[in-house]
């Protein structure tokens, strides 16, 4: 996995979701790197990390790769932060390597087997139909859906282009199609509800009040299953790290300093 590192202090690992990359966290990291060592990874097939073959043990293998990065960097324990599908990676890492996780943070947690892929993605997951529609779906997804989801902020178009970079060129639509055929949530996430109650580290969950991708019920369910979890509602869409970096960064500092997720639920603008 492609890994970046900046800052000094307690280590934090940031894990993005699909189909973004480690740059998703830039606005938060620039607020934290003065007091924490911040690591980001690019997950397979995204950013600068080559695509990996999906299979039944995919999330366990990702957890093992993350653990190898921890060992390579001489880290005893670190905080682990995940967004969207990165939350699923985070909880699997915590499941297999719980002693190495200090605190855990989940944003827009795509954790449960009832997860439904975004409607534009579903045709790509169908053999033959996906091959035929890949160029059209890719254009609609990146030029319309992602630009609307990220919003009109000054860096929005640049960020979309950065996320889209692995899927440019003549073969790009079909690379995107292959990435989206990442497996069935009903299978890959089947064990999550059973093992969440075993994760004892302090956990903070962020949910956007107008997130169209991940239902609020997922965040509330995760908060109820994790034994030491608290939840923060933000005035945000799905891309919380881009829409509310100041609120997230300040909440993370407070959470990591106190190790207490029992924060009163609140809305922030």
Total-model pTM: 0.94
8 Å CB contact between 223 and 205:
yes
Which one has a higher pLDDT value, 82 or 186? 82
| 126 within some domain | no
Which tokens belong to 43? 């997950």
Given a cut of 50, whether residue 265 has pLDDT beyond it is no
What pLDDT, on a 0 to 100 scale, did the predictor assign at position 39? 98
| 204 within some domain | yes
Mean pLDDT of 220-231: 96
| 84 within some domain | yes
| 164 within some domain | no
Strand-pairing partners, residue 42, are: 2
Q: At 118, is the pLDDT very low, low, confident or very high (cuts 50, 70, 90)?
A: confident
Using alpha carbons, list the distances in angstroms from residue 216 to 29, 78, 238, 246, 257. 25, 27, 11, 21, 27
> Comparing 32-41, 50-59, 91-100, 201-210, which segment has the lowest mean pLDDT?
50-59
Q: How far is CA 38 from the centre of its chain?
A: 15
Q: At 153, is the pLDDT very low, low, confident or very high (cuts 50, 70, 90)?
A: low
% of the chain with per-residue pLDDT over 90:
81
d(Cα 96, Cα 92) in Å, to the nearest integer?
Answer: 6
Which tokens belong to 141? 């997804």
Q: CB under 8 Å to 222, separation ≥6 — which residues?
A: 106, 109, 111, 196, 205, 229
Given a cut of 50, whether residue 220 has pLDDT beyond it is yes
Number of domains in the chain: 1
d(Cα 127, Cα 54) in Å, to the nearest integer?
Answer: 16
> Comparing 66-70, 116-120, 235-239, 249-253, which segment has the lowest mean pLDDT?
116-120
| 59 within some domain | yes
CATH number for position 250: 3.40.50.1820
Q: How far is CA 82 from the centre of its chain?
A: 4
d(Cα 216, Cα 229) in Å, to the nearest integer?
Answer: 15
What pLDDT, on a 0 to 100 scale, did the predictor assign at position 53? 81
What pLDDT, on a 0 to 100 scale, did the predictor assign at position 262? 65
What pLDDT, on a 0 to 100 scale, did the predictor assign at position 119? 86
Question: Counting beta carbons within 10 angstroms of the beta carbon of residue 248, is it exposed (0 to 12), middle (13 to 18) or buried (19 or more)?
Answer: buried
Mean pLDDT of 154-163: 85
Q: At 263, is the pLDDT very low, low, confident or very high (cuts 50, 70, 90)?
A: low
| 209 within some domain | yes
Given a cut of 50, whether residue 266 has pLDDT beyond it is no
8 Å CB contact between 8 and 75:
no
Which one has a higher pLDDT value, 266 or 8? 8
Answer left, alpha or beta for residue 74, where phi above 0 means left and psi between -120 and 50 means alpha: left
Which tokens belong to 82? 């995940």
Which domain range does residue 110 map to? Answer: 2-119+184-258
Which residues in 176-198 are b (16+ Cβ under 10 Å) and which e?
Answer: bbbbbebeebeebbeebeeebee
What pLDDT, on a 0 to 100 scale, did the predictor assign at position 181? 86
% of the chain with per-residue pLDDT over 70:
96
pLDDT, one tens digit per residue, over 9-26 is: 999 999 999 999 999 999
8 Å CB contact between 231 and 265:
yes
Quote the mean pLDDT of the chain: 92
Question: Counting beta carbons within 10 angstroms of the beta carbon of residue 116, is it exposed (0 to 12), middle (13 to 18) or buried (19 or more)?
Answer: exposed
Residue 119 CB neighbours (<10 A): 8
| 265 within some domain | no
8 Å CB contact between 134 and 174:
yes
């Amino acid at each position: 996995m492609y890994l970046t590192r900046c800052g000094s202090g307690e280590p934090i690992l940031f894990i993005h979701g699909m189909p973004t990359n480690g740059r998703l966290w830039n606005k938060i990291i620039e607020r934290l790197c003065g007091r924490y060592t911040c690591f980001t990874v690019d997950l397979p097939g995204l950013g600068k990390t080559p695509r990996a073959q999906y299979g039944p043990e995919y999330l366990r293998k990702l957890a093992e790769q993350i653990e190898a990065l921890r060992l390579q960097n001489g880290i005893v324990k670190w905080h682990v932060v995940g967004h969207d599908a990165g939350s699923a990676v985070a909880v699997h890492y915590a499941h297999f390597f719980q002693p190495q996780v200090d605190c855990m943070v989940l944003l827009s947690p795509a954790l449960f087997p009832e997860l439904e892929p975004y409607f534009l993605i579903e045709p790509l997951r169908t053999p033959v139909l996906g091959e035929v529609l890949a160029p059209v779906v890719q254009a609609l997804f990146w030029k319309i859906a992602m630009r609307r989801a990220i919003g009109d902020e000054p860096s929005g178009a640049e960020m979309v282009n950065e996320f889209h970079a692995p899927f440019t060129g003549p073969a790009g639509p079909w690379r995107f199609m292959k990435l989206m055929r990442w497996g069935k949530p009903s299978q890959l996430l089947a064990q999550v509800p059973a093992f969440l109650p075993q994760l004892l580290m302090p956990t903070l969950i962020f949910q956007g009040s107008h997130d169209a991708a991940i239902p609020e019920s997922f965040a509330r369910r995760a908060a109820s299953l994790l034994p030491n979890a608290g939840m923060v509602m933000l005035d945000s869409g799905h891309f919380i790290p881009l829409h509310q970096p100041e609120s997230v960064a300040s909440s993370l500092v407070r959470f990591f300093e106190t190790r207490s997720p029992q924060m009163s639920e609140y809305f922030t603008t």
